[in-house]
Amino acid sequence: MNSPDLKIILNTAYRMSNLGDAAITKIMIEKLNKFSKSKISIFCYNPSSDFDFFSKYSNVYGDLYSIENELNPSVPKFLIAIKFIIKTLSYLAWSKLKNFPINFKTKEKIKLLKQSNLIIYAGGGYIGGSNNPFPTIFTLYLSKIFGKKVYLSGVTIEPPKGFFSKHLIYSVLNRIDLITVREPISMKVLNELKIRTKKVLTADYVFLQKCLNENETADLFQRLLISKDSSIKIGLNLMELNTLKAHHTSDKINSYENSIIKAMELILKKTNCIIYLFPFQIDKKVNDLTICENVKNNLGLFSNRIKIINENFSPEQMKTIIGFMDIFIGTRFHSLVFALSQKVPTIAIGYHQKCIGLMQMINLEKWLLDFSFDEKELAEKVLELLDNREKIIMKISEKIPELEMNAQRNFELIHELIQVKN
């Protein structure tokens, strides 16, 4: 397939310390680099912390509204708001006045925007809900002011909160060229917002994530002392509690942790199992290891049957290890994708719309727990899932090829958008 001389900007909301984000970014860059004569520039929210990851693949720049210097909780919100307004006015002025006095780094990013053929905004769930829509929405708007083709790719979109936010999102999303969403609830939100832009239900990019080869897998399992013995292997992914505060009350969050501990104790008593804990994000701001260690420490005599997979693994390594589990219990969205794409029978803890939508796509609503679950409910689900493993594996196996094809569809739509000729 031939391709024009492309200058693509990949604008991400990702953190490379998050395994799901790292997987998506790597997949996107590798696929986009297969477009002949394509040059990719990456705008990210945390350029200094993520530079080592991105620089292997492309040129890296801070997003127009980079947040890395504004993560300090001691910075007053009104100062961040003032900074946002000043930046916005500067960008609007620069879009009209070529010689507007803007700093060199920003001028370079604006120049890249103007020179690009296609701008892809990729990320998870950052439009609607409790998210601040203004940085993303204004950057989309600015890209259209420059007359660029804009693709909002593989996202989750939540119902907007507030009249102004709703109308701002409505106005800007109707200006862009293409939207693909990764679960059906987001499509429903777009329809309810009356978004006229072409929109397609696809699937998350991580369904395309590859595993290690046989030799690499053997070496990894030997290092981790994972063996094919008679014990049941249960994978468990937990989300750091502070991150959950954006979605749930403190009472529900505390109940989540306590119910996990009590449920694991019940399961350890009733089965010959080893529980493997899989943190998916470990950095200074978000550290899933904290809750993993707390769960292990609170299981007392059973703690020798709890193993935390706490090395800095690549997406390929982590997906390979998860594929070795007999069943999996996941909170984070991409932990669920890693497990399901390996055909591992999975229970999802529905902390967010995207987890609910994913289980709907695979017709596994029975194995979706409300975030307010209790320990008895989870323990019973685990035991039932263990008894029905083969049936669930067959059910997942029927859907995964379709989801992989839909994930690939995200890239096929890029070719259509830039009018590639065979």
What is the DSSP annotation of 63-125?
Answer: -TT--GGG--TTS-HHHHHHHHHHHHHHHHHHHH-TT----HHHHHHHHHHHH-SEEEEE-SE
CATH top-level class for 6-201?
alpha beta
Q: Is the pLDDT of residue 356 over 90?
A: yes
- pTM here is 0.91
The larger pLDDT score, comparing residue 220 to residue 70, is at 220
Closest CA to 205 of 7, 3, 14: 14
Helix (H/G/I), strand (E/B), else coil: 352? coil
Angle formed by the axes of helices 389-417 and 19-32, to 10°?
40
- Report pLDDT for 421: 42
Run of H or E including 368: strand 368-370
> In the chain, where are the structural domains located?
6-201, 212-401
Dig out the tokens for 92 from the structure: 């609007």
User: In this structure, which amino acid lies at residue 282?
Assistant: I
Residue 50: pLDDT band with limits 50, 70, 90 = confident
| DSSP 8-state secondary structure symbol assigned to residue 126 | E
Q: How far apart are CA 295 and CA 259, in angstroms?
A: 10
**Domain spanning 212-401: which superfamily?**
Glycogen Phosphorylase B; (3.40.50.2000)
- Report pLDDT for 74: 60
Residue 77: pLDDT band with limits 50, 70, 90 = low
- Report pLDDT for 36: 59
User: In this structure, which amino acid lies at residue 203?
Assistant: A
Helix (H/G/I), strand (E/B), else coil: 244? helix
Tens of pLDDT, residue by residue over 328-339, are 999 999 999 999
Q: Is the pLDDT of residue 100 over 70?
A: no
Dig out the tokens for 236 from the structure: 């468990």
**Please, what is the average pLDDT of the chain?**
87
- Report pLDDT for 99: 62
With a pLDDT cut of 70, the percent of the chain lying above it is: 89
Tens of pLDDT, residue by residue over 253-290, are 999 999 999 999 999 999 999 999 999 998 888 899 99
Q: Is the pLDDT of residue 70 over 50?
A: no
Q: How far apart are CA 359 and CA 342, in angstroms?
A: 15
Query: Would you say 199 and 224 are in contact if contact means Cβ atoms under 8 Å apart?
Result: no
Run of H or E including 268: helix 250-270
Q: Is the pLDDT of residue 176 over 50?
A: yes
Whether the domain at 6-201 and the domain at 212-401 fall into the same CATH topology: yes
Q: How far apart are CA 389 and CA 387, in angstroms?
A: 6
- Report pLDDT for 1: 44
Helix (H/G/I), strand (E/B), else coil: 75? coil
Tens of pLDDT, residue by residue over 397-414, are 999 999 999 999 999 998
Residue 342, φ and ψ in degrees, nearest 5: -95, 5
With a pLDDT cut of 90, the percent of the chain lying above it is: 53
Residue 325: pLDDT band with limits 50, 70, 90 = very high
- Report pLDDT for 237: 98
